[in-house]
Amino acid sequence: MSWARPIGVLPCASRAGAVLRASLVPTAPMCRLFGFRSVINSQVHRSLVSADNALGVQSRRHPDGWGVAYYVGGAPHLIKSADQAMTDQIFQRVSGVVASDTVVAHIRRATQGSLSPLNSHPFQFGRWIFAHNGNVTGFATVRAELLARVHPTFRRFVLGETDSELLFYLVLTHLERRASVHQKVSVDDLAAAAVDAVAEVVDLVGPICPDPLGDPNETYLTFIVTNGEIIVGHQGGKPLFYSTYKRQCPDRDACPSFSAECERATVSGFVNHLVLSSEPLHGENIWLELEVGQLVGVDERMRLRQFEPGGSSAA
């Protein structure tokens, strides 16, 4: 049983019909996140380009860069740019060929750092991919301290100027204390590392702003992190929605992976897809809204895991 409330009906996240539309919750201008983990490879062209509220369309209001990460044979492929997605031919081409069981995409509206591919999201280390929607208040004054808290193994890979990249490496720093980031990692350890990294930032700069319409210079720490097998989304003040099932799957008679969990909240604990987005997607999927501090994810077997603020499991 999910602890989040359903807010509406939206599309198949595990196929090429996922569509972003206007959020049911108005927000101040910020970045946009999109990610999914699925039991089958899925194309993302409609979500990124052709829908009325696709990420590319949103780049008109979030024009400071874009990135798409996807996995092939377990290895991440990352393409990103400092250009506006909707006018970038590379973005158009990439969105047309991407088909994967794990994808993370990001449209940037800069709060920290110049417009540069190094500052565009997602960020990558080995198999790990990370994208952030938010800000660390007073980042210029705490950057050196945050960087000092990153494990030396990761510190030398910090190439950009953003708070987001440091947050990524703080998550990996805390994860490395539990399990090698180059080996198999549990979703529980990843969620705990995310919570610890957030707590470290909050310890330095003060609490997360709970108002999505608040001053964009306040602290917001909403993000998605994955290694292609497990994925976790954290609601850190900016909205994050997730979906695991549809009102009715249009491919129910043809999809070899169709199961009861495709059209209802999971009873077994397993799902066929988890999609995460800053905004609900238009279509058949039932969407749930995370509250501040909550996390949701799936493990390598596609078992849904839900975590309350502080990281305690709600599953």
What is the residue extent of each domain of the chain? 5-307
Structure token digits, residue 42: 């899925």
Closest CA to 67 of 113, 34, 20: 34
Would you tell me the crossing angle of helices 163-176 and 139-149 to the nearest 10 degrees? 20
Which residue has tokens 């077994």?
A: 268
Give the Cα separation of 90 and 164 in Å (integer): 24
Summarize the chain as % helix, strand, coil (round to 5). 25, 30, 45
User: Do 147 and 160 touch, CB atoms closer than 8 A?
Assistant: no
- 68-122: per-residue pLDDT in tens? 898 988 999 888 875 554 545 556 566 555 667 899 988 755 455 545 568 887 9
Q: Give residue 98's pLDDT.
A: 67
Q: Give residue 270's pLDDT.
A: 95
* 184: number of Cβ within 10 Å: 11
Torsion angle defined by CA atoms of residues 49, 106, 34 and 101, in that order, rounded to the nearest 10 degrees: 80
Model confidence band, residue 276 (pLDDT cutoffs 50, 70, 90): very high
Helix (H) or strand (E) holding 312: none
Peptide bond into 122 cis (omega under 30): yes
Closest CA to 70 of 107, 97, 31: 97
Q: Give residue 31's pLDDT.
A: 62
Closest CA to 47 of 255, 275, 258: 275
Helix spans in the chain (H) = 45, 55-58, 89-97, 139-149, 152-155, 163-176, 187-205
Q: Give residue 297's pLDDT.
A: 98
Strands (E) across 27-150 are located at 32-43, 66-72, 75-81, 99-107, 123-125, 128-135
Q: What superfamily would CATH give domain 5-307?
A: Aminohydrolase, N-terminal nucleophile (Ntn) domain (3.60.20.10)
Q: Give residue 129's pLDDT.
A: 97
Give the Cα separation of 103 and 126 in Å (integer): 15
Closest CA to 183 of 143, 128, 236: 128
Would you tell me the crossing angle of helices 187-205 and 139-149 to the nearest 10 degrees? 140
* 166: number of Cβ within 10 Å: 28
Provide φ and ψ at 81, rounded to 5°: -155, 160
Q: Give residue 285's pLDDT.
A: 79
Q: Give residue 79's pLDDT.
A: 84
Q: Give residue 262's pLDDT.
A: 80
Indicate yes or no: pTM above 0.75: yes
* 160: number of Cβ within 10 Å: 18
